[in-house]
Structure 1
Amino acid sequence: MYKVLYVEDDFQSFKLVEMILKKHNIDVFLAKDGLEAIELAEEIIPDLIIMDINLPKLKGYEAAAILKSKKSTNHIPIIALTAVSENSYEKLSMAAGCEAFFTKPIDPKSFAQNIISFIEKRDFSEKNIDLFSKEISLSLKNKAESLAKLERELLNLNYKLNKILGSLPEAVFIVSSDFTINYMNTKALQIKVSNQNFITTNNFLEIFSLVDYTLEQLNEDLKENDKVEGVYSILNDNSNRFFLTTFTTFDDDTLITLKEITDIKTFEENIKHVEKLATIGQITSGIIHEINNPLTSIKNYLSVLKHLCSDSTQQEILNKLNFGIEKIENLAVNLVTFVRKPENKKYPINLNNTIKSVFSFSDYEIRRGNVQINLELEENLPLIYGNNTSIEQMILNLLINANHALAEVENPQITVKTYSNNDDIFLEISDNGPGIPEEIQDKIFEPFFTTKPEGKGTGLGLAIVKKIVEEHNGEICFNTSKNGTTFVIKFKKVSGEN
């Protein structure tokens, strides 16, 4: 008695097929989705799998690809059966390893005969190939033996080739001259089905784009050489996945292999960023020195002019000039703070006392806009090793950043909290602002990145915070939502503190 696994989420369709096949002494087992199909196939090892395409959890061709990649189930023939007759679904199914593709509704008589014929032919080719060879040899002994041997070798070679290509970590495509996809290995299929927009297309250039290389250049190079290596490609979605691509022509087709290098590409970009910051650090001190000298002279002359001018309009102009100079000075101080070498001298400090010190000299700036300050400082907080000046700068930058986030908030509040947990000391600074937009959350610690209007910020505040935290071997993270943002800094307490 044959066993058939029918993967179908519509119970009525299953009952119809079960009724048809049971009349022919075939047991039919039901799997309601792709995941259940994989599990049940490994358990019962059916003679045939009938796979619906539109399934929950996993599409039918996705489940088929997984079954064909497993050693325990890759020998089981799979037939695709679906109400959708789109050519793209048929190609996806066949690429995933299905042996045939049928559409609904089915004809009870022909369907049963097709299934039985398919199983028997499959069973015949696998279990009775020796007998078949002997029967042929009776009439065409010499030629038949040679032909059977060549056929077996070809099938074996094709099987091994598919196995090798399927197990490669690189994605492999075979395309025609217009880049229509004729073959995909398992890795390539996984990439193709990773995005809904790729499923319906069958053109390589609609899935990948060449980076710094035109299609015209590629075609010209392939005419001169059969192989072009080292071409960068990027997946046509928002994932920023990079691939090192090789094109090899044979006959009228092109073999394309893609090795993902996203992590390497990201590393290279980070190295460039670090080198840029190092260059900025080398030249900034000299620039600031050259800026400060004339600024000092200008401020002195402005001070004299303010005493000489009594006209209110002139006084207002001088005040605006003075405000602009203070902005330049503030930028200079922030730049010097950012690029200075870490101060090695660290000593035990009480974080609570440092917080109170910051409020003592910057209370007006922090409370600007009628911001309510809530202090929740743990009593007898253990000490940390740090440089008090740097920690003050870090706290002040976070408080000013929180104040700026509350510019358009009713009942603005900032909460400063300290607490200890085992060997760690925590500082939390929270605001009830609108939160940080998701699209910029991974950029807020980058130097010179700011969301403030031109002239309102340098983009160095949070970059300096992160730098100071790292200098103290601490960690910083943040939680944000539409109801506010909390920055959490973790330090190690001084050894021996309770």
Structure 2
Amino acid sequence: MKTQEQIVINLNEIINNTIEGILILQEGFIKNINQPLLEILGYETKDELIDKLATGVLIPTSVEKYIKYNEKLFQEISLITKDGTTIPVIIKIKDIFYEDKEYKIIFILDLRELKEKEKMVIYHSRLSAMGEMISMIAHQWRQPLSTISSMLTRIKLRNNTNKIDKDFLNNSLSDINKHIQYMSTTIDDFRNFFTTDSKKELVSLNEIVAIVFNMIEKSFSSLNIKIEIENKNLQKKHLPKNELIQAILNILNNAKDAFIERGISNPLIKIYFEENNQTQKIFIEDNAKGIDEKIISKIFNPYFSTKNKKNGSGLGLYICKNILEKDNLGEVFVENKNLGAVFTIIIN
């Protein structure tokens, strides 16, 4: 029969060879810590932390955040290392009793690698959309370039016939400048979309939708897809503008693909809003005949696609959900309604 000392030694060997960090607390004080967590925190020995308050290394968020990992719900917090660096982690807490004393055992999983992979998936999704974006830029620029060319031809014709006057020239140059400014704004919208900087900006949801509309208007209208946007001003919030642009673009492009694949006549997308003291909502409704009820619960899963292999990566709607749910920004839902699907984006 194994002695108590042997059991303790074997237990320490087990917890020191897990991929998870393990912390054992009693009344908020650290009583044990495994080697993987020591390495994450940058400490050399347990003695530096034993009998210290756990708040010296665990930083709860101001608002409780939970994420799903391997189909289980975990709380997301931060660790603070010996050198003051903060690390995103998920934790699971269990109450245990040993020798008539109550302890808390905290299982900790480092999220840094997962977060980096998440960023790369979103960035590569943007890059994969670059070809489509270039096509959209071409649609946005075709009309102003044609107008500028026409104006320059008229200026040249009048100049050759000595019929040019100052007012005509000034008005023409002013109009040309307006079209050039429009093109400059358009390219800025696309350039900003591809930046990896996801800093938050004070912006309203209807302003974000307007940016998206300006990016896709010509491309969608060339396919006879009509977009109706409710004229409603919403309160400005500090939001990750570029990431929300990507989320809305993904939903709209999904609708566009459904229109094309199903040969929908008079394709229509309606975008409307709701706002209260707690949340803001965007509704994106199409008339593309909806989503099969057998798969509607799966469309936000990674690599799930109803499109053929050539046109579908299965990441668009997954990334949309990921963007909304990370950092407790909000949620996204879909349901069939009337003649199509309605995507609802909720911003907390």
| TM-score of the superposed pair, with normalisation by structure 1 | 0.31
As a proportion of its length, which structure holds more strand? 2
Q: Which has the higher contact order (CA 8 A, sep 6+)?
A: 2
As a proportion of its length, which structure holds more helix? 1
